[in-house]
Structure 1
Amino acid sequence: MPSLPRRCTALLLLLLLATGSALAMEPSPFDARYRLEVKGWPNATIEHRLSRDGKQWISEMSADIGVARGSERSRFLAGQAIRSLHYASGYTLMGFGKEYELDHEALARLPDRQTALIDLSRRAAAADCAHPCRLRYLDHRGREKLIEYRVLLRDTLSLPPGNFEAVRVEASEPDEPGRKMTFSFHPGVPGLLLAMEYHRDGKRRSRLTLIELALGPR
């Protein structure tokens, strides 16, 4: 297979990336679009949709970065804790593709990374742990991953859809100390990213910014 720069492949997997607390918020539907800026690449668009299907929730995310495309879909239950039920993803790099799937048995112990993003945002809004906070999840291949995170001071972001209070979280993987991600979550809509920055070796390599938002009924 032709090779791509490692930063592009790693970024795609990270973006398409996690139990709850007594203060966990109920999810609410949304449709969001983001502008993705990657150092050395044209700007791209990422779409993220959270929808309800009866008592279950579906999180769908897709990205298109030039010759690289990817999409993920997760089905889960959200009560005081989040429980993943099914996960599927597919990637295409320069015309070569691969698909992955995790069923409820594989996800019985840990959530997939789409569901983990929802869980991380709920934890951050509740501020229910002391540093260092840790979160375990399964990646697209079913491998266990660990992130360490800390909740930063809240701030206000001025974005194309409006002004939003943001819960900011800095996250990293212990085995990749040179990589850090800073998430800005909506404090009242679990899983809704307002912005994200990815840093490697002390330099910002990419930035994600919310450009369109449609909120559904609670």
Structure 2
Amino acid sequence: MPLPLRHRRALLPLLLLPWLLLASGAVIAAEPRPFDARYHLEVDGWPNATIEHRLSRDGTQWLSDMRTDITLAQGRERSRFLAGEAVRSLHYASGYSLLGVGKRYALDHQALARLPDRQAALFELSRRATAAECAAPCRLRYLDHRGRETLVEYRLLPPIELSLPAGDFEAVRVEVIEPDEPDRRLRFSFHPGVPGLLLAMEYHRDGERRSRLSLTALDLPPR
């Protein structure tokens, strides 16, 4: 039985919508580092939730795992990728459950040969934000959870000092929009020295903030 449309739309912010993105090309940026992060997510009309994000190394490959679990909904995404001058996705899997009904998705290396998945994209977007190499508007292409190619645009915002439950950070920021949905905007704040580490996020629609994410705990092993 498919989920009602209003439930599917409500679930998207809980799964952080787009950890969307990636563009092709090389980036000179900080080396990847493993981390365990925990976030507090506030979404209009929903109970607050906890998001967990782990980036770990498996030989020459990197594994990104992000999940949430609240009373009514669960969601998880996993990505395996290589992180050289450009990110290369190898495998992606995701799934959600809302009110006992859900779906699962997967993309293999053949499906991801041309464009990356959105978990690997979050990692690469943070490197591009740190490198500050693109003048607005920058265009990105990625594969969504169903393997559909999507185009978005982003622009770099001025750095900002953030005081979060996990500590004080200087953040690099990016604003992302979909050309077909200009009233919807995502503002990401990244750690400048740890690729893929999200410090905060805000989702705006129709000029109002609809959801907010903030880092509450961080385990960053020494190099």
Which TM class, normalised by the smaller chain length?
Answer: over 0.9
Runs of 4+ off more than 6 Å: none
Do the aligned partners of 1:16 and 1:61 also contact (CA within 8 Å) in 2? Answer: no
> What SS class does the counterpart of residue 189 from structure 1 fall into?
coil
Contact 2:91 2:112 in 1 (8 A): yes
Specify whether residues 181 and 145 from structure 1 end up closer, same or farther in structure 2 by C-alpha distance, changes over 3 A only. same
Structure 2 Cα separation of the partners of residues 143 and 109 of structure 1: 12
AA aligned to 2:209 is R
Alignment of 1:160 with 2:165, yes or no, is yes
Q: Which residue of 1 aligns with 2:118?
A: 113
What is the CA distance between 1:57 and its match in structure 2?
0.1
Q: Relative to structure 2, which stretch is displaced further, 17-26 or 56-65?
A: 17-26
CA–CA distance in structure 2, aligned partners of residues 88 and 6 of structure 1 = 18
Moved more, 103-112 or 17-26: 17-26
Identity %: 71
Aligned equivalent of 2:185: 180
Q: What TM-score, normalized to structure 1?
A: 0.95
Paired letter, 1:135? L
Local SS of the residue matching 1:165: strand
Runs of 5+ unmatched residues, structure 2: none
CA distance in 2, matches of 1:217, 1:103: 32
Amino acid at match of 2:42: E
Q: Distance in 2 between matches of 1:77 and 1:144?
A: 20
Shift in CA distance, 122/22, structure 1 to aligned 2, threshold 3 Å: closer
Shift of 1:17: 4.2
SS of aligned partner of 1:190: coil
Residues in 2 aligned to 1:7 and 1:202: alpha-carbon distance in whole angstroms: 18
Corresponding residue number in structure 1 for 2:98: 93
Task: Confirm or deny: 8 A CA contact 2:19 2:122 kept in the other structure.
Answer: no
Cα distance in 2, alignment partners of residues 7 and 100 from structure 1: 17
Q: What secondary structure, in the 3-state scheme, does the structure 2 residue paired with 1:152 have? A: strand
Q: Which amino acid aligns with 2:185?
A: K
- Amino acid across the alignment from 1:121: S
| Count of residue pairs brought into register by the alignment | 218
Q: Deviations over 1:73-114 (max 9, x none)?
A: 000000111000000111111111211110001000000000
Q: 2:55 is matched with which residue: 50, 55, 66?
A: 50
Deviation at 1:25, TM superposition (A): 2.4
Name the SS of the counterpart of 1:124 in structure 2: helix
Q: Is residue 36–residue 44 contact of structure 1 (8 Å, CA) maintained in 2?
A: yes
Q: How large is the Cα RMSD of the aligned pairs?
A: 1.4
Question: Which residue of structure 1 lines up, in the alignment, with residue 82 of structure 2?
Answer: 77
